Structure 1
Amino acid sequence: MKKLFYLLFFAAIVFVGCKKSSFESVFDKNPEERMADAISLVNTSLTSSPNGWIATLPTSAGGGYGFYMSFDANQNVIMYSDISDAASTTPATSTYRVTTGLGAMLAFDTYNYISVLQDPKASVYGGTQGSGFSSDVEFTYVRQNADSLFFVGRQYRQPLVMVKATAAQKASYVASAYKTTIDKLKSFFTTNKNPFIEIVSGTNTLKVGVTPNLTNTLSAGKRLDLTGVLADGNTVVSSGQKIASNIDGIDILGTGLIWQGIKFVRLRWKDATTLVLIDGSGKEYIIKNSATPLVPLYQLWGTKYTGMLSEYKTIYPGTSANGAVILNYYHNGLVPPTQPYTFNYGRINFVWNTVNKRLTVNGFSSQNGGTSGWVTATVYSYTVDGAGVYKFTSNAIASGGYVAIPLSKLDTFLLQNRVTFDYHVDGANVYAKVTSVEDPSTVMTFVLQ
């Protein structure tokens, strides 16, 4: 019995000893020391690239943006950006600091081009009043590899990625070549109105339209879309992603732009005149140009285009004499005697709701040149056949505003005619063309929106 007692006592001692060692810290430094090491690591990394960094940052509410940054040991950063022509050629110098947050945190603590994206005044850059583009100026350090640093925005959780620049890239940014690169891209897509790439799908070669938006518009700018018709000839597939310009072309942000299983990651110049879209495996797709848009217009309502516009007293190329009569009845009828009020500006907007198969025609009228005004809305339901022929019926008669009478000829046209929608190409401009099936001599053209 006594022997058993000693054995149990010895086992207890061994157990306690093992239990104590299992709670020993696996770190050789305390939390304060580890945080100091992390801050030192980030500071050293930022200043270790002699040619600076090429950075990209998507915004939560808007598109993506590109930057060149050079950090020094005195906590100054020199920055260029694609947010504007001026920012791409004029360096902005501000201060930064690396401090503690949920880990080491890079903070841009004086105003610079990254701060512009956070500016709460809508008048500064066009963001939402109070929140700008929903972007950050404080970024938590995530990780790094041989040539890149990775951070994430503290509030909006958008990734700030920095890649070491080469000496040649630094020289190009400093020499204002950034703007030259951006201008060249804009010129390419201005000249090539209907750019596309070819993708082999089984036995078919699909033509997929490439649509970049290099503006800073909050809802649509700094993005790239791919739109194409699948092999069945009817199914339209469109996908998009945020982009950022750099000295070599365009980077597609996030997880890339995925179209039918292919992930596209960047646009680059193959030579002086050939632009290519590159997928994740490095395969190049030459961007070509079509004389006319690739996808029938009626298949793009509600996806690529939300509607059409007839601007004040503007008759666009391709409108027939009969069509001009209908449009001018509105534009010239914004003054008596057509109706009792005098307006000095007005336009017609067509807005599609493809989910509910409705078209709303808004007649806007103003007495102060368009700064403010009134809207008369008419709602139509519609059916469309496989050939793209539309038949409209009344859903809600003209209401609100003051211009139901000037809109009446257009209303009669839509209710008494079946119509088709197509493109009208006039030089570098592409318009929406509406043609009556019953009377093909009645044609109206509009600005696509």
Structure 2
Amino acid sequence: MIQINRSGKTGLLMVLPLILFFSCKKEEFEGQRPDERIAAALDAYYGTLAGSEYGWKGNLFPAGGRGFGFFFRFDRQNRVSMLADISDQTRRTAKESSYRIRATLTPSLYFDTYTYLHQLADPDPAVNNGTPGFGLYSDFEFSIQYASKDTLLLKGNLFGSRLELIRATREEAAAYEAGNLAAMKRRVSQFLEDRKFTYIEDAAGNIYTTAIDTEENTLIVNYDSAGTIATQKFGLSFFGTDQLIMSMPFRHDKFQFDRLIIDSQTGELQAAQGGQHFVLWDTEVPPFAFSAMWGVGYESIVVPIETEAQGNGAEFNLRRTTFLQNARTLLAAGTTFPEMTVTIDRKQQLLFVNQLIRQGANNFNARFVFSFIQQGDEYTFKYEGATDDNAKFLENAFIPVLEGFLYGKMQFDYDLELSELRASGQSGGLPGFKFVGRL
């Protein structure tokens, strides 16, 4: 609960038969009792997992989206060690757990003690910034859907997360254990650092813009589809020595790719499918107009509130500081208001303005909503009100900012002053009401 100032108001192929194995012929089970067959089947799985001398590369795609690269080493004493692309520590420091394979409806792999897999599923949002009670909708118990000596495909028993295990080579194992998950993330971040807009061009000259988020491990691809901008979003898993595996292949007409590859010599990224590679080009000029991308490729503008963003208008800054002065008198000392997120829903014709409230390590949200009428690239807004108790409590203090959206028509566009990808919102009827934030 938000703490308030004491002098203020109270505010608030799916089922795999147990006897179907890559290393066991049918006659090996003949004459055995069912329990003996099950035991032999489970032992074969143990043998496969522990039998990979150099461990297993892993791609985990939680049901909630995103992607996470893993590296596992299993042994016959029911112990497993793992590295995971979650934080700098988990990329470099292996964590050990016990594991079991059990015969349920299908053979299932269980990780018994708290691991990096459990961290993604942790119901406490302070652990993974996930949904309270659900985490990232990830799993730590998996049914085995397919197995060969080099590949296992698994499905989470609770949320249906997808886990792929691929036998690693000596070179790959050495790279993982030398910190390559962190190194790959750093190389991709460096590639993106000075590139505002990246895109792929197919053989027919069609443009596909790409937006890679190395914090969320996602890839967004935008393209022209019959005169409108279409978008597809994928999880990304850092994999092996130089690849980012997508949660599913991108397909449009005859063009497709299922991974990104980091060039070992240049550090540049390429999309790939089989033996075909497609360069990720970059440009300073947006391939698609912001009016076409707003609400499709880009849904939110994150505007700093405690600090002044370069490019802000004087009127917005005045209203921003007035809000801060008002809000600080209402809430406990030390409360901050780091950012305002402006999110559009073009289908519902709604604009959401979410003000973040921070008290120590706790974050709270105050959400306000506008309806709108769009004419070309201009928006006319109508204030619909506060949507939660936090917003109702903060509403009077936030009115100076909210009113700025109501003076005539507003326009939104890219802001290209800095290397960071940013956008602005500007009032046509209130001079100086212009805010700038990151996309």
**TM-score range with shorter-chain normalisation?**
0.7 to 0.9
Q: Structure 2 CA distance, aligned partners of 1:148 and 1:59?
A: 19
* Number of the residue aligned with 1:211: 211
Deviations 1:262-319 (A, max 9, x none): 332111123422211112x431111111113322112222223223344325443334
Structure having the higher Rg: 1
- Change beyond 3 A, Cα 1:368–1:148: closer
When structure 1 is superposed on structure 2, of 430-439 and 310-319 the one drifting more is 430-439
Which of 246-255 and 369-378 deviates more?
369-378
Distance 1:227 1:342, change over 3 A: same
Decide whether aligned partners of structure 1 residues 318 and 214 sit closer, same or farther in structure 2, where only a CA change above 3 A counts.
same
1:183 and 2:186 matched: yes
Give unmatched runs, 5+ long, in structure 1. 1-25, 216-220
Assess if the C-alpha contact under 8 Å between 1:365 and 1:374 holds in 2. yes
Are positions 1:403 and 2:397 aligned together?
A: yes
1:223 aligns with 2:211: no
Structure 2: distance between partners of 1:45 and 1:144: 9
Q: Residue in 2 aligned with 1:289? A: 282
Contact 1:61/1:133 (8 A) holds in 2: yes
The letter for the 1-side match of 2:240 is I
* Alignment correspondent of 2:436: 446
Deviations 1:183-216 (Å, cap 9, x if unpaired)?
1112212232311111234xxx12211112222x
- Distance (Å, rounded) in 2 between the aligned partners of 1:312 and 1:289: 31
Q: Which residue of 2 aligns with 1:350?
A: 342
Cα distance in 1, alignment partners of residues 34 and 65 from structure 2: 38
| Rounded Cα–Cα distance in structure 1 between residues aligned with 2:113 and 2:356 | 45
The correspondence of residues 372-383 of structure 1 with structure 2, limited to 5 A, is: 377=368, 379-383=370-374
Please tell me whether the aligned partners of residues 192 and 289 of structure 1 are also in contact (alpha carbons under 8 angstroms): yes
8 Å Cα contact 1:223/1:240 also seen in 2: yes
Once residues 127 and 237 of structure 1 are traced to their aligned partners in structure 2, the CA distance between those partners, rounded to angstroms, is: 27
- Residues 225-284 of structure 1 show CA distances to partners (whole Å, capped at 9, x for unaligned) of 111234x6x4101101222112323443443233445332111123422211112x4311
Q: 1:130 aligns with which of 133, 142, 153?
A: 133
Indicate conservation of the 8 Å contact 2:356/2:364, yes or no: yes
Q: Residues 157 and 28 from structure 1, CA distance in 2 versus in 1: closer, same or farther, beyond 3 angstroms?
A: farther
| In 2: Cα distance, 1:374 partner to 1:92 partner | 34
**Letter of the aligned partner of 1:276 in structure 2?**
Q
Question: Structure 2 matches for 1:149-168, cutoff 5 A?
Answer: 149-168=152-171
Alpha-carbon separation, structure 2, partners of 1:381 and 1:83: 39
CA drift of 1:178 comes to 2.5
Kindly report which structure 2 residues correspond to 1:213-292, keeping only aligned pairs within 5 A, or say none.
Answer: 213-215=213-215, 221-230=216-225, 234-260=227-253, 262-273=255-266, 274-279=268-273, 281-292=274-285
Whether the aligned pair in 2 keeps the contact of 1:99 and 1:107 (CA below 8 Å) is yes
- Which of 399, 402, 411 lines up with 1:420 in the alignment? 411
1:433 aligned residue (424, 433, 436)? 424
- Is the CA contact 2:70–2:84 (under 8 Å) kept in the aligned structure 1? yes
- Residues 404 and 129 of structure 1: is their aligned pair in 2 closer, same or farther, counting only changes over 3 Å? closer
- Contact map agreement 1:382 1:393 (CA 8 A) in 2: yes
- What is the 5 A alignment of 1:65-214? 65-201=68-204, 205-214=205-214
Is the 1:35–1:103 Cα contact (8 Å) retained in structure 2? no
8 A contact 1:358–1:382 mirrored in 2: no
Q: Decide which of 303, 310, 315 is 1:317's aligned counterpart.
A: 310
Matched residues in 2 for 1:356 and 1:139: separation? 38
How much identity, in percent, do the aligned residues show?
Answer: 22
Q: Deviations along 1:83-140, whole A, 9 cap, x unmatched?
A: 1111111111222222322233222112222222222322222232323222222222
Report the Cα distance in structure 2 between the residues aligned to 1:129 and 1:376, rounded to whole angstroms: 18
- Which amino acid in structure 1 is aligned with residue 344 of structure 2? W
2:103 is paired with a residue of what secondary structure?
Answer: strand
Q: Which moved more, 1:86-95 or 1:258-267?
A: 258-267
Tell me how many residue pairs correspond in the alignment.
400
**Residue type matched to 1:381 in 2?**
F
Instruction: For residue 172 of structure 1, give the secondary structure of its aligned residue in structure 2.
Output: helix
Could you tell me how far apart the structure 1 residues matched to 2:117 and 2:364 are? 36
**Within 1, Cα distance between the matches of 2:49 and 2:329?**
65
Amino acid in the other structure paired with 2:98: T
| TM-score, normalised with respect to structure 1 | 0.78
Corresponding residue SS for 1:415: coil
Task: Please tell me whether the aligned partners of residues 196 and 208 of structure 1 are also in contact (alpha carbons under 8 angstroms).
Answer: yes
Question: Which residue number in structure 2 is paired with residue 10 of structure 1?
Answer: none
> Would you say the 8 A contact 1:195–1:210 is kept in 2?
yes
* TM-score, length of structure 2 as denominator length: 0.80
Deviation at 1:330, TM superposition (A): 3.9
Aligned partners of 2:365 and 2:173: how far apart in 1? 52
Higher relative contact order (CA 8 A, sep 6+): 2
Q: Secondary structure at the match of 1:402?
A: helix
Q: Do the aligned partners of residues 155 and 30 (structure 1) sit closer, same or farther apart at CA in structure 2, a change above 3 Å counting? A: farther
1:384 to 366, 375, 382: 375
Tell me, what secondary structure is at the counterpart of 1:304? coil
Residues 342-389 of structure 1 show CA distances to partners (whole Å, capped at 9, x for unaligned) of 788556543323113343556x5979799678958462422222xx2x
Deviation at 1:408, TM superposition (A): 7.1
Q: Distance in 1 between matches of 2:281 and 2:272?
A: 14
d(CA) in 2 for partners of 1:168 and 1:27? 41
Distance 2:381 2:114 in 1: 55
Partner of 1:5: none
What SS does structure 1 have at the residue aligned with 2:416? strand
